Amino acid sequence: MNLPLEFDIIGIKACQRNRHPLLFVDRVFDVIPGEKASGLKCFTYNEWFFPAHFDDEPNVPGFIQVESLVQTFIMSFLSNDDLRGKKTNFLSIDNVKFKRKILPGDTLMIRATLKSFRRGIATGCAVSFVGDAPACSADFVVAVPDVLDQFKPKGGL
Amino acid sequence: MNNTEKYKILFKESFQYDGDVEQLIYQAIPEWDSVGHMQLMAALEDSFGIELDVDDIIDFSSFKKGIAILSKYKVMFEP
């Protein structure tokens, strides 16, 4: 395996289960599985949400910016061979900050760091930029249910 | 703080639970679900400086059972 890894859209879809119209990262690069990943998302006016958000002032909704961050973040561990293609769930999102509007024509650059991956629970953070300008950032805790389920107690109620 | 007190506090903090932790079993409260279980296991490992085996994590289905499991890792509990 030649590090760091890079993924085009086909490679991204092989690693994670998000699909159009809810896949918000176009290319992933500088990936060290178990450590970090970077992503690019190019927003054009053809995106389905721009006419609705808003017709007189198109900009990327906050939840989609957060999705771009987390979809890059999950590549930091779903790029591991034994986790590729597994579904993920949010456990928590903290410290979300939005610094600027993302407009049609903007390219979002995302840098994600995996702090820990322990028994199906990933903890980390991601920050994004348009050019050099900070755009948004957040801390994440994400579960991989397939892995988590392997450690569930057999006893209990 | 002795290990018994530390063990109780880890349960209370992991599950944000103020009740009688000594009677707790897996899934007896909503907070002790599969995610809460992993949080408790991580807290125990960090606090006692141990690494739990998979079989022990799966076996860890109650407060009382946990005491027996942790004793295998030389975590001793005061009577």
Q: The complex's ipTM? A: 0.84
Map out the domains of chain A with their CATH numbers. Answer: 5-151 (3.10.129.10)
A–B interface: beta-carbon pairs under 8 A: 55
Query: How distant, in Å, are the alpha carbons of A6, A29, A52, A98, A120 from that of A40?
Result: 11, 8, 23, 17, 26
A91 has a chain B CB within 8 A of its CB: yes
At A81, the amino acid letter reads D
Beta partners for A134? A129
Q: In what order do the strands lie in the sheet with A27-32?
A: A5-7, A27-32, A36-42, A107-118, A121-130, A133-143, A89-98
Separation of alpha carbons A141 and A125, rounded Å: 9
Q: State the total domains in chain B.
A: 1
What is the domain extent for residue B18?
Answer: 3-71
Chain A residues with CB-CB distance to B42 below 8 A: 118-119, 121
| Residue A143: count of CB within 10 angstroms of its CB | 21
Contact B35 A91 (CB under 8 A): yes
B16 within 8 A of B29, measured Cβ to Cβ: no
Identify whether B43 is part of a domain: yes
Chain B residues within 8 Å of chain A (Cβ atoms) = 25-28, 32, 34-35, 37-39, 41-42, 54, 57-62, 65
- Which chain B residue lies closest to A150 (C-alpha atoms)? B58
| Interface touch A153/B42, C-beta < 8 Å | no
- A133 vs B: CB within 8 A: no
Q: Is residue B25, in this structure, part of any structural domain at all?
A: yes
- Mean pLDDT per 10-residue section of chain A, whose length is 157 residues: 95 98 98 98 98 97 98 98 97 97 98 96 98 98 95 82
B50 in any annotated domain: yes
Q: Is residue B76 part of a domain?
A: no
CATH of the domain at B11: 1.10.1200.10
pLDDT of residue A155: 75
A22 touches chain B (CB under 8 A): no
Whether B77 has a pLDDT exceeding 80, the answer reads yes
Mean pLDDT of the B34-56 span: 95
* Closest chain B C-alpha to A154 CA, distance in angstroms: 6
pTM: 0.91
- Whether B26 maps to a domain, the answer reads yes
* B-chain residue closest to A141, CA distance: B35
Is residue B78 assigned to a domain? no
Partner residue facing B37 (CB), from A118, A153, A157: A153
Q: Is B53 within the bounds of a domain?
A: yes
Q: Among residues of chain A, what percentage have pLDDT more than 70?
A: 99
